[in-house]
Structure 1
Amino acid sequence: MAGLSTTTPTPTEITVHQQSRVLEIAFSDGARFRIPFELMRVYSPSAEVKGHGPGQETLQTGKREVLITALAPVGHYAVQPQFSDGHDSGLFSWDYLYELGAHEARMWQDYEDRLSAAGLSRDQPMAAKSGGSTSTGCH
């Protein structure tokens, strides 16, 4: 249970709202957040998105319309959403969901700044992963 302590608020209610594309989550400390699916998807804590170390993040684009098609509990500390684009490897711990909800405005701004720096937009389709066809032969 990495990151969890006895002071970490726990969810008392989790609702997936497909129409408005938000995960509504109420916590034991009284906080209630409506976290957009897109924010969850672009900040997925998976290796596919975060990479295996600093600087290895994959900037996500084209996720505005993404849906959560399933939400599986993981022990008593996290949920694992399955997104409509097939992504399903992110484990969202209670403290990470709380962080997404509490810092949503800053995280959106960081995302927009990273997109701008890369010359990309939120709605641009993800670049296809190369199968090595553009390789220079150096590995």
Structure 2
Amino acid sequence: MAGLNPQSPCPQDITVHAQSRVLEIVFSDGAQFRIPFELMRIYSPSAEVQGHGPGQEVLQTGKREVTITALAPVGNYAVQPTFSDGHDSGIFTWDYLYFLGSQQEALWADYERRLREAGTDRDAPMPPKTPSSCGHGH
């Protein structure tokens, strides 16, 4: 288990803005980000979203209106949000939040590219979860 890099900026302040659906986070190096809940949800570091290896990612759609209903601290290195769609298995480390905040434009562009490749759009409902997620039928 990799320890935290002591040089890593840590949050000085985290604010959940329910109305505008952004997580405002101010880091010790002076960086300040407003990370949309939707971006956090579609890039959640959980296995449910990331899969269990490269190419296993599950494209998340229909998350534009998602909100964060709770934000639990995990040790002194991360937070675990509960999203309004029930997703709560993503643990967002400070490093990962910094990455999401600083790379927002690239991440949105990548998300839009993945949506195009999948032939779907941002507001499409997620397909229901199937019990067997091992099949690769098209």
Displacement of 1:129: 1.5
Partners of 1:104 and 1:86 in 2: CA distance: 24
Aligned AA for 1:114?
R
Structure 1 consecutive aligned stretches of length 4 or more whose deviation exceeds 2 Å: 1-4
In the alignment, what sits opposite 2:72?
Answer: 72
In the alignment, what sits opposite 1:101?
Answer: 101
Percent of aligned pairs sharing the same letter: 71
Partners of 2:68 and 2:31 in 1: CA distance: 22
Please state if 1:20 is matched with 2:20. yes
Query: Is the 1:3–1:95 contact (alpha carbons within 8 Å) kept by the matching residues of 2?
Result: no
CA RMSD of aligned residues (A): 1.3
- 5+ long unaligned stretches in structure 1: none
- 5+ long unaligned stretches in structure 2: none
In the alignment, what sits opposite 1:9?
Answer: 9
Classify the secondary structure of the residue corresponding to 1:40: helix
In the alignment, what sits opposite 1:116?
Answer: 116
Q: Please, what TM-score do these two structures have when normalized by structure 1?
A: 0.92
- Single out whichever of 1-10 and 75-84 deviates more from structure 2: 1-10
Classify the secondary structure of the residue corresponding to 2:87: coil
Q: Which has the larger radius of gyration?
A: 1
Partners of 1:56 and 1:8 in 2: CA distance: 29
Aligned AA for 2:101?
G
Partners of 1:3 and 1:44 in 2: CA distance: 21
Displacement of 1:27: 0.2
**Deviation by residue 1:27-68 (Cα, 9 ceiling, x = unmatched):** 000000000000000000000000110011000000000000
- Single out whichever of 3-12 and 77-86 deviates more from structure 2: 3-12
In the alignment, what sits opposite 1:55?
Answer: 55
In the alignment, what sits opposite 1:84?
Answer: 84
Partners of 2:59 and 2:49 in 1: CA distance: 7
